[in-house]
Amino acid sequence: MSKDNQILEDLNSKEYEHGWSVNFETDEAPIGLNEDIIRWISTKKEEPHWLLDWRLKAFKIWQGMTEPAWANVNYPKMDLQALRYYSAPKQSNKPKNINEVDPELIAIYERLGISLNEQKRLQGIAIDVVLDSVSVATTFKETLGKLGIVFCSFSEAVKEHPELVKKYLGSVVPMTDNYYAALNAAVFSDGSFCYIPKGVRCPMELSTYFRINAANTGQFERTLIVADDSSYVSYLEGCTAPQRDENQLHAAVVEIFAGAHAEVKYSTVQNWYPGDKEGKGGIYNFVTKRGICAGDHSKISWTQVETGSAVTWKYPSCILKGDHSIGEFYSVAVTNNYQQADTGTKMIHIGKNTKSRIVSKGISAGKSQNSYRGQVQVMKRAQNARNFSQCDSLLMGNQCGAHTFPYIDIANPSAKVEHEATTSKIGEDQIFYCNQRGIATEDAVALIVNGYAKEVLNQLPMEFAVEAQKLLALTLEGSVG
Amino acid sequence: MLSIKNLHASIEGTPILRGINLEVKAGEVHAIMGPNGSGKSTLASVLAGREEYEVTEGEVFFQGKELLELSPEDRAREGVFLAFQYPIEIPGVSTTNFLRTALNQVREYRGLEPLDAVKFLSLMKEKMALVEIDQKLLSRSLNEGFSGGEKKRNEIFQMAMLEPVLSILDETDSGLDIDALRIVSNGVNKLKSKKSATIVVTHYQRLLDYIVPDFVHVLYKGRIVKSGTKELALELEEKGYDWIKEEVDSTATV
C-alpha cells in the first residue's frame, strides 16, 4: 500500500498545458459592476436601445437575488465588484473576414492547436473564437451563408439579425432564472449565434472556442442556437484559460431552441484551468445551459467532458415540450486534486411520449469532490413519458468523494422512469492485469478510464473524442489508487 | 532461463514461500503441484511481480537479469506471461484494444516498430485459430460476462499474441469442462517452442494428460518437497497428497 500512497501523493505530475497568457493591447471596462458599467459595455458594442434596456432590467433583477448555496461545493465567495466585466483585444478596424484578423490573435489560437486558417483545416469544422469578452473570428461564414445558415458572433447577430435575436434571446433561459444567468444577462459581452433554417442539415460541425486571457476578468458569454423545423446541427464548444493564482469567474449562458423534427447535438470539452495542486486559483465555472424541444419530434442531445475548472456548477437541461421529443445528456466529469464539480442535468417532460436518457460518468481522484445532481420531472400532461438514468462513479484513491443527488418528480402515472447507479474503484487487480501484459501503470489507468467513459466518448464527434481521451489521461496522470 | 534460489515471500507478515529452488531451461515444461494453500499461486504471483507479496529472501534470475528488480510491466516485456487463475474484467475495453496497447508497449520496449492496424489484425487472425476463439468475443469488453471457459481461452489467446519466453499457467484448468480443457491445452501445446518454457501450476493431474510436463514438483508448506517426472503426477493422482504430507511432516518432527 505504501507505494500506492506515494503515487497518490505524487499527483498531477503533468501541469496544465494551456496555462500561458499573452500581453497585447486591450480595451477594458473599469473594474466594478454598476449600471454605468452596463451602459459602458452596451455603448462599446454599439447596441440598440432594446438590448440595453434588457440588460438593465436583468441587472435590477440580479440585484435582488442572492448567490445560490445549495450546490455541494465550497469556495470563498467572490467579490464581484473587484472584477472587470469587459476586456477585448484592441483591433484598429473590425475585421470583415478571417484574413483581416490580427495575426497575433491567430497565433494565440495556433498555440492552442486551433487553426483558424480555413484552408488548413482538414475537417469540416466552422469555428467562432471568443477571447475574453469578444468574438475575434468566425470561419467558413460564406460557405455556410450559401445554405442560409447564420453562424457569427453574438454582437454581429444583434446588428445583422436583430429580429431573430429579439425573438429567442432569453426565451429558454429567462433572465430571472438564477443568480448567474441574471448576471450574465446584464453584462454578457459576446458569444456565438447560430441559426439553421428550415429543412437544412448543417454540413459541418459548428464550434466555439473560448479563451480567457486577461487577469481579473470574468467571462460572460452567451450562446444562442436556433434550429428551425426539420434542421440539424452539431455544435462543439471548447475552452481554456491561463494559469493564475486568483480565481476567475466564467458565467455563461447557452440557449438552444429546436423546432419540429429538428435535432441539435451540443458537445463540450471543458478544460478551464483547474487550479494548482494545492487548490489555488482556477476557474469558477457557473454555467446555465438549457435547450427546449419546442416542436414535435425534436431532439436535443448534450454531451460534455468536464476536466477543468476549480469549481463547476453546471446542469445542461432539456425542456421536452413537443410531443415525441427526445432529450439526452451524456457526461464525463473528472475531478482531481482539490477540484469540485456539481454537475448533472434536468429533463422536464411536458409533451406526450417524450423520452429522455441520462448517462453520467463521474471520475474522482486526489482530494476532489464530484457530485451528480439530476432532476427528472414528468408533468401532468406528459402521457407515456420515459426516462432512463445511469449514474456511475469511479473513485481513484481514498481521499476523494463521489455523490449522487437524483430528484424524481412525477405527476403522470403513465411515466416510466428508471435510475441505475454504481460506484466502483479502479482496482489494483485491474492495473496489475494490465501491467502483466506489458502496459505501464499510467497507460493502464488511461485505458481503464477511457473504457469506463466509452459510452459518453462515443457520442462525441470523432476528432473531439480523440482529444477528450487524451485529456482524460492527462487530467488523471499520476493519480492511481 | 529461469533460476529461482532460496525464494522466501510473505503476505502481510505471514510467510508463504519458505525457500523455493527451481531451475527451468528453455524448451522445458514444469508442473508445480501441491495441496491447497501450499503456495503454488503465490509463487506464480511473485514471479509476475504482484505487489502484495513481499520477497524477504532469495533471488530469481530470468535470462541473466534479476527478475525481482524489475517492475511487473518490465517483466512482461522481458517475456514473462502469467495466465491468471481469475482473469480480471475491464469494462469498456475490448480484448483487441487491450492487446494492441499491450503488444505495442512490449514491442517498443524491445525496440520494434508498433504494429499498424492491418498487421495487428492479420496477426490476430492467425492466433485466433490456435485457440479456436471467436472474433466477436474479442470485440466485447475484456472478460466482462465471459464464461469460465471463454476467460481461460482468452488468456491463452493473449499468450499467443504476446509470444512470451516464459509462460506461467496458474490453475488454468480450474472451471473448465473437458472440451474447453482440450482446446486450451492444444493452444498451449502449439505455442511450445525450443526457445520458450512453461510452468503449469495445477492442483489436479488432469491437465497434465494434455500438457505433458518434463518435470513435476510438489509444493508443500512453501517448499518443493518432491521432484520427479510425469509419473510422479500419476502417483499423486492415485494416492493423493497425504502420503507426501506425512513424509514431510514426519521428517520435520524427527
pLDDT tens digits, residue range A183-233? Answer: 999 999 888 899 999 999 998 888 887 766 665 567 788 999 999 999 999
Asked if the C-beta of B105 comes within 8 angstroms of chain A's C-beta atoms, the answer is yes
**Whole-angstrom distance, CA of residue A439 vs CA of residue B82:** 14
Q: Say if CB B244 and CB B59 are below 8 A apart.
A: no
Asked if the C-beta of B72 comes within 8 angstroms of chain A's C-beta atoms, the answer is yes
Which pLDDT value is given to residue A9? 38
The ipTM (two decimal places) reads: 0.95
Range of weakest confidence among A421-430, B136-145, B151-160: A421-430
Contacts of A447 in chain B (CB under 8 A): 90, 93, 97-98, 101
pLDDT tens digits, residue range B151-179? Answer: 999 999 999 999 999 999 999 988 888 88
A447:B90 CB<8 A: yes
Q: What share of chain B is helix, strand, coil (3-state, %, to 5)?
A: 45, 30, 30
**What residue of A is the nearest CA neighbor of B77?**
A438
Per-residue pLDDT at A24 exceeds 90: no
**Whole-angstrom distance, CA of residue B83 vs CA of residue B75:** 14
pLDDT tens digits, residue range B102-129? Answer: 999 999 999 999 998 889 989 999 999 8
Which pLDDT value is given to residue B206? 86
How many Cβ atoms from other residues are within 10 Å of residue A128's Cβ?
28
Higher pLDDT, A98 or B100: B100
Q: Work out the pLDDT band at A137, boundaries 50, 70, 90.
A: low
B77:A438 CB<8 A: yes
Which pLDDT value is given to residue A218? 72
pTM as predicted: 0.81
How would you write chain B as a 3-class SS string?
A: CEEEEEEEEEECCEEEEEEEEEEECCCCEEEEECCCCCCHHHHHHHHHCCCCEEEEEEEEEECCEEHHHCCHHHHHHHCEEEECCCCCCEEEEEHHHHHHHHHHHHHHHCCCCCCCHHHHHHHHHHHHHHCCCCHHHHHCEECCCCCHHHHHHHHHHHHHHHCCCEEEEECCCCCCCHHHHHHHHHHHHHHCCCCCEEEEECCCCHHHHCCCCCEEEEEECCEEEEEECHHHHHHHHHHCCHHHHHHHHHHHHC
A434:B51 CB<8 A: no
Per-residue pLDDT at B28 exceeds 50: yes
B76:A454 CB<8 A: no
Contacts of B93 in chain A (CB under 8 A): 447-448, 450-451, 454
Range of weakest confidence among A4-8, A217-221, A222-226, A263-267: A4-8
pLDDT tens digits, residue range A48-98? Answer: 999 999 999 999 999 999 888 888 888 888 788 888 787 776 655 555 555
* Angle of helix A428-436 versus helix A441-452 axis, rounded to 10: 120
Distance from CA of A263 to the nearest CA of B (A): 28
The rounded percent of chain A whose pLDDT value lies above 90 is 44
Higher pLDDT, A172 or B246: A172
Which pLDDT value is given to residue A131? 64
Q: Work out the pLDDT band at A3, boundaries 50, 70, 90.
A: very low
Tell me which residue in A432, A438, A451 faces B93 most closely, judged by beta carbons: A451
Which pLDDT value is given to residue A90? 64
CA nearest to A408, candidates A381, A373, A375: A375
**What residue of A is the nearest CA neighbor of B110?**
A438
Contacts of B11 in chain A (CB under 8 A): none
**Whole-angstrom distance, CA of residue A450 vs CA of residue A468:** 9
Range of weakest confidence among A5-14, A237-246, A300-309, A396-405: A5-14
Per-residue pLDDT at A31 exceeds 90: no
Per-residue pLDDT at A2 exceeds 50: no
Asked if the C-beta of B11 comes within 8 angstroms of chain A's C-beta atoms, the answer is no
Query: Residues in chain A whose beta carbon is closer than 8 A to a beta carbon of chain B?
Result: 3, 427-430, 432-441, 443, 447-448, 450-455
pLDDT tens digits, residue range A331-382? Answer: 999 888 888 889 999 999 999 999 999 999 999 988 888 999 999 999 999 9
Which pLDDT value is given to residue A461? 78
Which pLDDT value is given to residue A263? 97
